Structure 1
């Protein structure tokens, strides 16, 4: 009876899946497990830092102090060497406002710690102006987890390409894995082997099923997580996603709003900008203020329509000297390619699906972290079996050898 050998294509696919897995396994495990840990960072942070993040309104109709007043108090707490760069305010009456000082320079840096000069926030009671907390993000658990996920705690120019190429390899492995998993026949026997984990079988079989069956069930979501991760890592892939979404190679127009350096300075342009943003988008849940980075730059205020996701946002630009509105960049006017890129982060972390989406992202990331382990154990077991067969064959050959 002829031996049914695998086709050349199947052998190539198996070879690719094996060696790409061995090359990228440790990186895939690290990136997946950190993604898993980061899934509920918002919920956990709100519990562990409740003192810093929440306040009790003095009265039902109490009003917030002007943003410029709160910024001045935050700046005093941070010190003159760490200027406030970002401010997050909330529509909710029970949230503190965050004033962040952040500066990075990864020109000659090797590690994440070397590339970031400072990264900390003070939290201010918006009714009284009192400082209620301070977080140094350089030593924050979830920030460290995020930057392990982002660049293995290396500087972005060094670490992110490593993560990016490992993610690309992981995507290839997912595709080759689903080809290898595909049942030869769709009868009851083969479907039972392909779709079920035989928990009562020997450890070797259980491990094999954990790798193959869980890999199949998480394939689509794992592929989405991998592809969205590649958008962050590669400009060429981001451009590809943009073209696919917009069905056009035309680069979107980016308006560069600038402040009038010859204008007279008004009393409170920062507070004016926030008030205008609130009047323009009164239903926004939070407002993110980006301070001008030069004497010509504008104040940017991003109005987020949802509590957590980032994609559905509108950006307003204001003169830093007068508070005059210079322009608006709305989400609805963007093409589908731009919208898809803006949705990328929320898709990647599962937040676009709410709590259920985050649970799914958590579970799939956990499975993705397990795949290099179960795959390595399969390879190790087969290698030992192959070595044992080779040894047995050699013993038989030696026994048949004619003595000299």
Structure 2
């Protein structure tokens, strides 16, 4: 009589990896596929958008004049503007028909000719928004779809960790380990499929772990708050600082252009400048500047000026504590924007691999199942 094999830790990890993978496969396939598409969301939208050509001329219009033009022609409330680094790009004004609107509309303006172009939604915008809703809540009601995606993401984390454990052979020797780094393309399709799952999953694993850990911040508020507590700082903190400002009608307020000039003098380096104008709620200027020579296009320095031009606060990203830096880049770490085009390509490939894992994993299980059936019949 043969002794029964002990239920080892490796067998346990294999069962966890198998059954959780089969249970969540379809959802993970959808989330990973849509994530692959969304990596280059902005580039896809811009490719299908109508071109708005700006030809540099001798003189530029002032920001004040352009804002007044928008107010006069369209009766908009102009809440801010983004000034690009390149001279042949349009200014992007943020306007609202009602100040109670949560988000405004982007309007492109030629800084030389005052030509106005209101960016219309294209079919690409509609498609990408569908991809976004699929990615975030599977086109369901947010109260239902969001936690489903969140649970699937937790399962994905477990699959990634168990996958790393299973990637290592039973006997860890270089001769056996190195086989996990390559795909035997000349073998039969079952072996190729196994290698695609095992090897590509290993290469993409670190990026998939980062995506999953950061992605949970959108699925569960309690997770986001808990992670913020562990990190010692708030995640997705979009609140503006509060300043005790005295309202004196006799004091001269600086113009938009004077405020922008002061901001560029204070943050003295080339880069895109995003400005939020004073309003009824916040009676001060808010600036975000993205250094063109910085290591990441997603990080920015912040500056706050009162309406007289006095510097209220400067926040240099490089001078922040590490935990605040990390919290500030949660979103670009999840989307792949963190290092610009290079990291987007890496994330695209990692997401593409992640999309294939439920398929190759299911095929591995199916092949083993057929093998077991043949043995039983014999």
Q: Is the 8 A contact 1:259 1:296 kept in 2?
A: no
Could you tell me how far 1:367 is from its partner in structure 2? Answer: 0.4
In structure 2, the CA distance between the partners of 1:43 and 1:315, relative to structure 1 (3 Å rule), is: same
| Count of paired positions | 371
Provide the rounded CA distance (Å) in 2 between the counterparts of 1:151 and 1:375. Answer: 24
Which of 116, 131, 136 matches 2:116? 131
Could you tell me how far 1:366 is from its partner in structure 2? Answer: 0.7
Which residue does the alignment assign to 2:272?
286
Secondary structure, counterpart of 2:184 in structure 1: coil
Q: Is the 8 A contact 2:304 2:314 kept in 1?
A: yes
Could you tell me how far 1:87 is from its partner in structure 2? Answer: 2.8
Provide the rounded CA distance (Å) in 2 between the counterparts of 1:265 and 1:143. Answer: 46
In structure 2, the CA distance between the partners of 1:384 and 1:68, relative to structure 1 (3 Å rule), is: farther
Provide the rounded CA distance (Å) in 2 between the counterparts of 1:57 and 1:180. Answer: 59
In structure 2, the CA distance between the partners of 1:293 and 1:254, relative to structure 1 (3 Å rule), is: closer
Provide the rounded CA distance (Å) in 2 between the counterparts of 1:188 and 1:227. Answer: 31
> What TM-score, normalized by structure 2, do the two folds share?
0.80
Query: Counterparts of 1:322-341 in structure 2 under 5 Å?
Result: 324-341=310-327
Q: Is the 8 A contact 2:92 2:106 kept in 1?
A: yes
Which residue does the alignment assign to 1:312?
299
Which of 80, 89, 93 matches 2:87? 93
Does residue 185 of structure 1 match 2:167?
A: no
In structure 2, the CA distance between the partners of 1:311 and 1:218, relative to structure 1 (3 Å rule), is: same
Query: Counterparts of 1:182-261 in structure 2 under 5 Å?
Result: 182-187=168-173, 190-191=176-177, 193-238=179-224, 255-257=241-243, 260=246
Provide the rounded CA distance (Å) in 2 between the counterparts of 1:278 and 1:36. Answer: 37
Unaligned runs of 5+ in 1: 104-115, 394-404
Which residue does the alignment assign to 1:38?
38
Could you tell me how far 1:171 is from its partner in structure 2? Answer: 1.2
Q: Deviations over 1:118-163 (max 9, x none)?
A: 7642211122221135133896144544444344456766544433
Structure 1 runs of 4+ aligned residues shifted over 6 Å read 116-119
Q: Is the 8 A contact 1:56 1:94 kept in 2?
A: yes
Which residue does the alignment assign to 1:401?
none
Provide the rounded CA distance (Å) in 2 between the counterparts of 1:46 and 1:125. Answer: 17
Does residue 273 of structure 1 match 2:259?
A: yes
Q: Is the 8 A contact 2:32 2:352 kept in 1?
A: yes
Aligned residues: CA RMSD? 3.8
Could you tell me how far 1:202 is from its partner in structure 2? Answer: 2.7
Provide the rounded CA distance (Å) in 2 between the counterparts of 1:76 and 1:201. Answer: 71
In structure 2, the CA distance between the partners of 1:192 and 1:98, relative to structure 1 (3 Å rule), is: same
Which residue does the alignment assign to 1:110?
none
Q: Is the 8 A contact 1:119 1:136 kept in 2?
A: no
Could you tell me how far 1:169 is from its partner in structure 2? Answer: 1.7
Unaligned runs of 5+ in 2: none
Secondary structure, counterpart of 2:186 in structure 1: coil
Does residue 68 of structure 1 match 2:54?
A: no
> What TM-score, normalized by structure 1, do the two folds share?
0.76
Provide the rounded CA distance (Å) in 1 between the counterparts of 2:180 and 2:6. Answer: 19
